[in-house]
Amino acid sequence: MTQGTRSVRMFITGKVQGVGFRWWCVSQASHLGLDGWVRNRLDGSVEAVATGPEDAVDDLVEACRHGPRGAAVEGVFVSDADPSEAGPHGFEQAPTA
Domains of the chain listed by start with CATH number:
20-83 (3.30.70.100)
Residue 30 parent element (H or E) = helix 21-31
- According to the model, what pLDDT value does residue 56 have? 98
39 is catalytic: no
Which residue in 6, 9, 22, 65 is the catalytic one?
Answer: 22
First to last CA, the chain: 39
Average pLDDT, the chain: 95
CA distance 51 to 79: 12
Residue 1 above 80 pLDDT? no
Which residue in 6, 9, 39, 40 is the catalytic one?
Answer: 40
- What pTM does this model have? 0.94
- According to the model, what pLDDT value does residue 3 have? 76
Report pLDDT digits (tens) over 59-93.
999 999 999 999 999 999 999 999 999 987 899 99
Report the sign of the C-alpha dihedral through residues 64, 87, 79, 11, in that order: positive
- According to the model, what pLDDT value does residue 87 have? 86
